[in-house]
Each structure stands twice: as structure tokens, then as C-alpha cells.
Structure 1
Amino acid sequence: MKQTASLSFPFRRFWKTLHFHGLQVPVQGAHVSKPVWKHIWRGDYEWPELRALSALMRPEDRVLELGLGMGLVSGVMARRHPGARFTSYEANPALPEAIARLHRTNGITNVEVRSAVVAPLDQGATRSFRLHRHFTESSLVAGAADLEAVEVPVHDPAAVFAEVRPDLLVCDIEGAEEELIPVLPLAGLRAAVIELHPHIVSRAGMARIFGAFLGAGLVPVVEQSFETVVAFERVDAS
């Protein structure tokens, strides 16, 4: 059946999968809300991130992804660059099964999924991850619409960077970037694509985030940044 924007949303039950930038995306499940379904259907789900990654990613990159979600962003890029290696973190316990199904459906084997968060260890070896009705808004940051909290393992940022040695960082963690980005060892990165959340992160927090990237020699790539997604790339000081 052809996807057509003229069909009303209830007809979504007739599709088991949708086409999305070279992927077949399984879309039957409680995690696929009406807004998410429509964005996949239209092909514009997380498109600012995909646009920036399409410009900055290289075929053999080691990618550290924080906030995997449904796995579509890394899924698209992993299919385009089979020589790349993704280490992808997602804390939401409702999503690993859906991610695994996406990977099986599309033959994706170069994405390693870890059910944990990367965060400073000063608050302990686990953190309360707050689940929202829409998985896209679940986060370490408390919100008025949270449904419940689950304890998730914490992986030390320095240890993760030392192990993965990422060339490229992808980060979409719903406001937790304010505490995380300033403590990351960013000096080894070539590029980063970060979704910022100004409705959660303070202006002072934004200054610390940008300061951390600039201090590591990574400057904003204005032409590949859009809406709340900011791309950074290393500039040779010479």
C-alpha cells in the first residue's frame, strides 16, 4: 500500500511498517504515539539530526549515541555507513524490544545498544529515569507529567569515552545535557550533533554547554544547525 498524506490517522492500524529513509520501521506498538507515527509517515522524524549527521558523519566513524529512542537516527546512518560502529545508550525499559525489532527487520548489525545512562557518578551507580507518556519526553530530569520513575544503571563518562573513543557524539537526552556535556572529555571528538532543550535547560546551562564545546576546540556548524539541534565540528587552531 502506498503511503499518502490524504489518509486519516486511524488507518495507521493497517500498516505494520512504514518506509523511512531506507528503513522499514515497525510501527505497531504502544510506544508509537500519534505524533511519532505521523513524523515517520511524513519522513521528517528527527530530520534536523539526520541532516546534520548526513553532512558530518564519515564512513568509518566510531559514534557514541546518547538517547537512542526508537533507534531511527542511528538506524538510518548505520545502514548508510556499514563500516561505522555505533555505541548507543537508551535508558527507557520500554524501548529495547522495539529497537531490536527495527535492527532485525533491517539487518542492522553495527549498533550496540546499552540499557543505561551516561552520567556523573556523584549521585550513585544508579539514577531515577522518569518515564513520560510519550517516550520522547522521558528523561533524568523530573517533569510534572512524569508517570513513574525506574532505576537505571549509570556508566561513567570518562570510562565510556576511553572505551569507545568516539569520533562523533550524538546526544538527545531531554535536558540532561546541562549536567552531562560540561563533564564529558570532548577533546578527542571530531564532531557532535546535540539536541538542546531550552524549555528545560537554563541560559546559564546553555552557556556551560557551548563553553565546553568551544573549550575543546569544537565550534558550531551554523549551516548544519536547525531549530534546537546544534552541530559542532573541530577547527584546526593553526
Structure 2
Amino acid sequence: MDQMRTFTLRGMEFSLPETAVRGGLGKALESGRYEHTEADAVERHLVEGDRFADFGAGMGYLCALAARRIGAVAVTGVEAGPKTIRLARKNLQENGFGKVRLIHGAVTGEGETAAEVEFCQRQAFWASSLRNLAQRAGRDLPQSVPVTQVPALPAARLLDELQPTVLSCDIEGAELEVLRADMPAALRLIICEIHPALYGPEGTRQIFDALARQGFAYEPEGSRGATVVFRRIGSP
């Protein structure tokens, strides 16, 4: 059984396997700067009455921050990694947010028609991704990295079901396809980590253009580096 380590982030405690705490991740957790730009954006923009969805929930950190602000029943996390979603559920329960809804599966764009997709579950969960994205980026896949079939969740259908007002999206490059989906009319804000190393400036432009066509514009408050906030024009 993996030995667990516990870290304090913004007054909450999160546990994860020792095997996952490597390199930059360990330093970020120890310093409290893990996903700090996304966390800043969540705390800055979420207001009472919001419904929050987190695509790529990881260990449950942003879901916990959102639940603390707007209540657990208004929060849904979606996570592809079978081990990672169990970790998220444990962390949320231990922080008192057991009513957060967690959905297991990989969010996909409209071009994906399969019921399941291949997912690479790395020990460092934050680097896990769909297998086809890793191959497209030319990343070598060590034999030690298990590949598993996970449910494919079409973004348009998922967004229509959840009807979030705020969406967080950190899905290791899959955002290039996912953010082309039709966004619900209620969605007012998107917090996204983009991955230009996977799809270059052309892919980044496609994301901005796709969201602009649906009335979203760059929001400087909360945006920093690869973390980009988009606000629907005319929304509060």
C-alpha cells in the first residue's frame, strides 16, 4: 500500500501517495503554490449562487475551494484517472465536502464517437492524459505507465447536463477540442490551463477564436501565464 503524505493548502489538508510527490509537484505542494493561479481565479470569481464544474479534478483541490465558497452540492468534478478520482473523493470527504459530485471519465470533443478512450494513468497524476494526446505530442510512453479504458464524456452533453455557471478546465491538451463545444447560456466564466507545447500558437488561437464566437473574451483578473480566464461579455 502506498505511503501517504499530507499537505496544507489554503487551510485545507490534502493527502496523496508518496510515489506521486516528485520534482516540481512536491515543491509546489510544500510551498503552498500548487495550482495557485487557478486557485486564485476560483476564489476571486466564484460567488454565491454559482454552479462550478471542474474538468480534470485531480486530487480534488479546486473542487474543495469551490465547495468552501458556494457549497458542496453546487460543485461537480470530472476526472479520468481511476486512481485519481478515488484520491479526490477521499480528500473531499476528509475536508467535509463529501457532497461534491464526482464523475469518472475523460471529457472529449465532438470528434470523439467511441464510448471509451485510452487513458495513461501516471504515478504523477497531474501529468496523466489521454493516450492519443501523448502520442500526438511525441511523448514516449514508458512500459511502466498503465493504459486503461475510461468512459468518454462528450463535452457538449456533459455541459448541457451540468449547466455550470463557472467552468474550470485542466485536461492536458484536450481543451483544444473540448472548448469548441456549445457552451450553456448560463456559463459566464471559464478558467482554463492551456498547453501551447502540445498544439502551438495555432491551437491557442483556435481556443480563443472558438470561445470568442460564443461571446467570451479574455478576462485579465485571474489570468496569468498558461492560466487563462474567459468571461462571457455582458455577464457579471
TM-score range, shorter chain: 0.7 to 0.9
Bigger mean CA offset, 63-72 vs 83-92: 83-92
Q: 2-side partners of 1:149 and 1:138: how far apart?
A: 10
**Deviation of 1:186 (Å):** 5.0
- 1:101 equivalent to 2:96? Answer no
Q: 1-side partners of 2:72 and 2:104: how far apart?
A: 23
Q: Percent identity?
A: 28
- 1:221 equivalent to 2:211? Answer no
**CA separation of 1:79 and 1:223: change in aligned 2, threshold 3 A:** closer
1:53 equivalent in structure 2: 42
Matches within 5 A, 1:174-185: 174-185=172-183
**Unaligned residue ranges in structure 2 (runs of 5+):** none
SS of equivalent residue, structure 1 residue 107? coil
TM-score where L is the length of structure 2: 0.86
SS of equivalent residue, structure 2 residue 203? helix
2:68 equivalent in structure 1: 79
Bigger mean CA offset, 106-115 vs 226-235: 106-115
Q: 2-side partners of 1:20 and 1:154: how far apart?
A: 31
1:8 equivalent in structure 2: none
Aligned counterpart in structure 1 of residue 53 of structure 2, from 60, 64, 85: 64
Q: 2-side partners of 1:230 and 1:132: how far apart?
A: 25
Q: 1-side partners of 2:205 and 2:37: how far apart?
A: 22
Instruction: Look up the equivalent residue of 2:120 and give its one-letter code.
Output: R
Instruction: Look up the equivalent residue of 1:124 and give its one-letter code.
Output: A
1:161 equivalent in structure 2: 159
TM-score where L is the length of structure 1: 0.85
Moved beyond 4 Å, runs of 4+: none
Task: Tell me which structure has the larger Cα radius of gyration.
Answer: 1
Aligned length: 224
Superposition CA RMSD, Å: 2.1
> Does structure 1 retain, via aligned residues, the 8 Å contact 2:47–2:69?
no
1:142 equivalent in structure 2: 134
Once the two structures are superposed, residues 47-83 of structure 1 have per-residue CA deviations (whole angstroms, 9 ceiling, x without a partner) of 1101111121112211121101111122122123326
Q: 2-side partners of 1:142 and 1:83: how far apart?
A: 33
